[in-house]
Amino acid sequence: MTRPIVVLKCGGSTLEQLSDSFFEGLRALQEQGKQPVIVHGGGPDIQSMLQQLDIKTEFHDGLRKTTEPVMNVVEMVLAGSVNKRLVTRLRSFGVDAAGLSGCDGGLLECKPISLETLGLVGEVTHVTTNVLEALFLKGIVPVIAPIGVDKEGVHYNINADTAAAAVANALHAEQLMFVTDVPGILKDDKLIQELSISECEALISDGTIYGGMLPKVRAALATLNDRLQQVAIVNGAMKQNNGCIRGTTIKRSLEVV
């Protein structure tokens, strides 16, 4: 029997600020018999490398238009430096972790969203979980860079929030948490602790939820199901209180405790 799966998406905005208690909390999860899986972003690191190389990029609806030269940088940064830095930090806290990208073991199969508008940006069509299951047997925490591969072997750039949601769905995760650089969903600078699906939709419509928060909330809404009744958005830099970080919980039904 596989342990209950907890998928944590660590945003590029927060990777360098992750608190010691975040890593201690992760170790505590393992000690409680849970199997953490990490999917990470790396938007700011990609941006800075593209600037150093003087390669221009543009965004459409929060997604980076990915030409071939951009893709080379995205893969180098995400599957290379960001992934390995995170694995090293986890291991320094006694969490046995191994890094992989969505190409390894055919983990994230994808197809282009729109070659014309977005270039090599992929949407996940299938998650091949074999390689993850092999790591689970050894109690290793997979650390996944959101690079996908299509049937022809072409590599794609996948938004890390949507990659995390696809992984959570495929693994029938018990918990999905988006770890980011804000305390949760804010309205007029105040944290909203709980939201229903319809309240989220209203906050998207009135522009309260915008930019980088949009793919997180959309991914959360797409992932809620009978098994996964709630999704959390939390700040990775905050000190945890008894393994628990306050943030926003998006609930399928507000009656769920």
Ligand X SMILES: Nc1ncnc2c1ncn2[C@@H]1O[C@H](COP(=O)(O)OP(=O)(O)O)[C@@H](O)[C@H]1O
Known binding residues for substrate are 42-43, 64, 157
Q: How far is the CB of 101 from ligand X (least distance, A)?
A: 18
Shortest gap between Cβ of 13 and ligand X (angstroms)? 3
Q: Does 209 bind ligand X (CB under 6 A)?
A: yes
Instruction: Pick one of 150, 174, 181, 201: the residue that binds ligand X (CB under 6 A).
Output: 181
- Which residue number has the CB closest to ligand X? 11
Q: Which is nearer to ligand X2W, 14 or 169 (CB)?
A: 14
Report H helices in the chain.
20-31, 43-52, 68-75, 83-92, 115-118, 130-137, 160-170, 197-205, 213-223
H helical segments located in 106-196:
115-118, 130-137, 160-170
Choosing from 26, 37, 38, 63, the residue that interacts with ligand X2W (CB under 6 A) is 63
Say whether 179 sits in a helix, a strand or coil: strand
The H or E element spanning position 108 is strand 108-112
What burial letters (b/e) apply to 243-252, b meaning 16+ CB within 10 Å? Answer: eebebbbbbb
Say what angle helices 160-170 and 213-223 make with each other, to 10 degrees: 10
DSSP 8-class letter at 165: H
**Applying CB under 6 A, does 200 fall inside the site for ligand X2W?**
no
Question: Footprint of ligand X2W on residues 2-41 (CB under 6 A)?
Answer: 11-13, 41
**Contact partner, 211, from ligand X, ligand X2W, none, Cβ < 5-8 Å per class:** ligand X
Shortest Å distance, C-beta 74 to ligand X2W: 5
Q: Which string of DSSP letters, residue by residue, matches 56-106?
A: ---EETTEE-B-HHHHHHHHIIIIIIIHHHHHHHHHHTT--EEEEETTGGG
Choices 129-137, 157-165, 199-207, 229-237 (CB under 6 A): range interacting with ligand X2W = 157-165
The minimum distance between CB 43 and ligand X2W, in angstroms, equals 3
Closest distance of CB 42 from ligand X2W, Å:
5
Residue 172 Cβ, how far from ligand X2W at the closest point, in Å? Answer: 23
Q: Which of 131, 153, 150 is nearest to 140 (CA)?
A: 131
Residue selected from 25, 42, 99, 119 as contacting ligand X2W according to rule CB under 6 A: 42
Q: What is the rounded CA–CA span in Å between residue 75 and residue 54? A: 17
Asked if residue 65 lies in contact with residue 112, where contact means CB atoms within 8 angstroms, the answer is: no
Report if residue 182 touches ligand X, rule: CB under 6 A. Answer: yes
Any contact of residue 208 with ligand X (CB under 6 A)? yes
The nearer residue to ligand X2W, 63 or 233, going by C-beta atoms, is 63
Q: Which chain residues interact with ligand X2W by CB under 6 A?
A: 11-13, 41-43, 46, 63-64, 74, 121, 146, 157, 159-160, 212
Q: Which chain residues interact with ligand X by CB under 6 A?
A: 11-14, 41, 43, 180-182, 185-186, 208-213
